[in-house]
Amino acid sequence: MIVDQDALREQIEAAWAAGQVAVDTEMVWERTFFPALGVVQLGLDRDRCTLVDTVALEGQLGDLGQLLADGQTQKILHDATQDLSILKRATGASPSNVFDTRAASGFAGLASTISLRDLLVELFDIELDKTETRTDWLQRPLADKQIGYAEDDVRYLVEARDELRRRAEAAGYLAWLEEEMAGLDEPEIYQERDPREEFRRVKGYGKLRGRELSVLRELTVWREEAARTFDRSRGRIASDKLLLFLAQRQPTQSEELGEVRSFRRKEIDLYGEAILAAVDTGQTLPEDEWPTGPPRERHDRAFEDGVKEAMGYLRERSEAEGIDPALVATRAEVKQLLRDGCDGEVTDVNGNRLAGGWRRQLIGNDLLDRFASDNATS
């Protein structure tokens, strides 16, 4: 394991010389808001894999950040977004030149949600040992078996990248694959979520309107700040169900909080004042500053039937082309396209992925030609 900056620099220079490096992370992330990074795996090929001890090098990962940001060196990961978001937070660097073997599988006749274990079986008939999934990656020393398990997660990624590119090229989709990978360079992918938009992730928020939604937004902002401050998971601060209840009840005194059955006395003592302040802020905001909820869906049977038919067409067309339908679009994106798109022409439909790039070429315009004119709603 790499435990000092000189050894880390040597490994990074080897990656620069190779022009590519496989990357993975192991962490502990169960009851905290922030993941606790245990090791970073780096692999140049089957025989040159190593672990970076991020516990020993905490606060000294600047060189690793340089590697992540280097556009001349490709970083190869499986299911890249979460690992790179964590590494950005640890290093401060925005990733550049990324190849995600999971997403790339969707252009090679495989599922774009395939696990690394299943991918290696499919490509090379190699089966990884997954008996160390519950390892405490912060504990030292790590056993040889744990180190081997972690190294295996990067050992074959360079070869997997090469084979997936070969298959995509044979199918005529290499340019589309490269376009999809280029999208992973967008910095906003790895940015922390906006606390003032977190209310949209609360299950059931769409049932609220007006002042209730304003209060819910302020409560979720409070929960985000508390979760960060105390490094506790959101659910350990306050459940979605509790936030919805408070947004509807809108208590103004601590005694009212005491009447909430799921709220314990010590939580009221710890959070009560901040909760009441959040409720007050949400209540007193002028109406023109209230957030908007999701659009009310009309129960239009014809439109829903059209969406269902369009999804069937997307699935049939994608499978015929050898591309995983799950990579192409979600049902929500298809629904949005048919609702908001212009007849026969895809423009920028509220950032919908079907409105641009290879997805538009494959099926975006076609979906509108076939379905939008009859099914668009206002």
State pLDDT tens for residues 69-97: 999 999 999 999 999 999 999 999 999 99
pTM metric for this prediction:
0.91
Verify that 31 and 135 share a domain, yes or no: yes
Strand partners, 25: 40
Confidence (pLDDT) at 344: 45
Contacts of 197 (CB under 8 A, 6+ apart): none
Which stretch, 128-142, 145-159, 354-368, has highest mean pLDDT? 145-159
Angle, helices 331-340/301-321, rounded to nearest 10 degrees: 120
Of the candidates 190, 211, 236, which is a domain's last residue? 190
CA 262 to chain centroid, in Å, comes to 31
**In-domain check, residue 126:** yes
Give the count of domains, the chain.
Answer: 3
Contact between 42 and 49 under an 8 Å Cβ cutoff? The reply is: yes
Rounded distance, CA 374 to CA 206, Å?
A: 27
Verify that 102 and 219 share a domain, yes or no: no
Verify that 179 and 234 share a domain, yes or no: no
Alpha carbon distances (Å) from 155 to 2, 126, 173, 180, 225: 17, 11, 26, 24, 39
Show the domain range for 226: 195-289
> Beta 48-53 vs 36-45: how paired, if at all?
antiparallel
pLDDT tier for residue 374 given thresholds of 50, 70 and 90: low
Using one digit for the tens of pLDDT, what is the confidence trace for 216-227? 999 999 999 999
Verify that 25 and 143 share a domain, yes or no: yes
pLDDT tier for residue 158 given thresholds of 50, 70 and 90: very high
Q: Residue 275: which of 251, 301, 308 has the closest Cα?
A: 251
Contact between 142 and 26 under an 8 Å Cβ cutoff? The reply is: no
**In-domain check, residue 97:** yes
Verify that 90 and 170 share a domain, yes or no: yes
Verify that 168 and 202 share a domain, yes or no: no
281, pLDDT greater than 60: yes
**In-domain check, residue 40:** yes
* Segment 335-339 mean pLDDT: 88
- CATH number of the domain at 334, please: 1.10.150
Confidence (pLDDT) at 325: 97
Verify that 271 and 337 share a domain, yes or no: no
What's the CA dihedral at 349, 353, 357, 360 to 10 degrees?
-70
- CATH number of the domain at 281, please: 1.10.150.80
pLDDT tier for residue 373 given thresholds of 50, 70 and 90: low
pLDDT tier for residue 348 given thresholds of 50, 70 and 90: low
The residue assigned the tokens 């790039």 is: 357
